[in-house]
Amino acid sequence: MLFNFKICLFSFHTNIEELEKSQAVLLDYLANAGCLRQMQSLRDRDLLVQDIVMFQVIHRVQGPFHRFCEGLTTLGVLQKIRSHPDSFRPLFCYQPCVMTADQMENLFSIRLSPEGSNKRAAEETILAFATGASVVPAIGFSPTPSVQFMHNEDDDFFSSMFPMANTCVNCIKLPLHTSYQLFREKFDFALGNTHGFGRA
């Protein structure tokens, strides 16, 4: 943010006096960055902006980057990275990916009401609705419980205005409604009218 401010401070000036005033404010920074130059023309402004960008993007991080490379060289890791760049790319370069069920599970934490309360019983109904079990078995679920979403344009949406569950595969299917209130009404109705085992 400060970097953008420094660039903007110089980029929009159209005369030498304004440039000199802006330069005076950042005199210490410019001297430390090695970007201090005398302003004689607007061309000097462009060169100053280039110097600041070069300092911020290249020179400022060059020392730490070289120390990082030296550390990787110590155990031969840098050589392996250079030999197999595709294998190491996910460790050093962010790539957006499709959200998996495991990632989704790790994003949320379940906060249940105290055991024995009426609220807790209602909350456990969702587990029973999706899996047919009111508690998590000691060996866990197989297959792992999953969530599917049903869209308005899907063929079976009319019959699935309510949440559905297939307890054989531990899957809950949630319809996407236009409002949270409508979704909640349909979900509450489905949970309140589910009895027995199998497809709810």
Query: Any catalytic annotation for residue 168?
Result: yes
C-beta separation of 149 from 140 below 8 A: no
148 forms bridges with which residues in the sheet?
A: 173
Distance CA(14)–CA(45), nearest Å, equals: 9
CA 196 – CA 174 distance, rounded (Å):
20
End-to-end alpha-carbon separation of the chain, Å? 53
Of the residues 8, 35, 93, 168, only one is catalytic, namely 168
Distance from C-alpha of 25 to C-alpha of 36, rounded to nearest angstrom? 12
Q: Hey, which residues are catalytic here?
A: 168
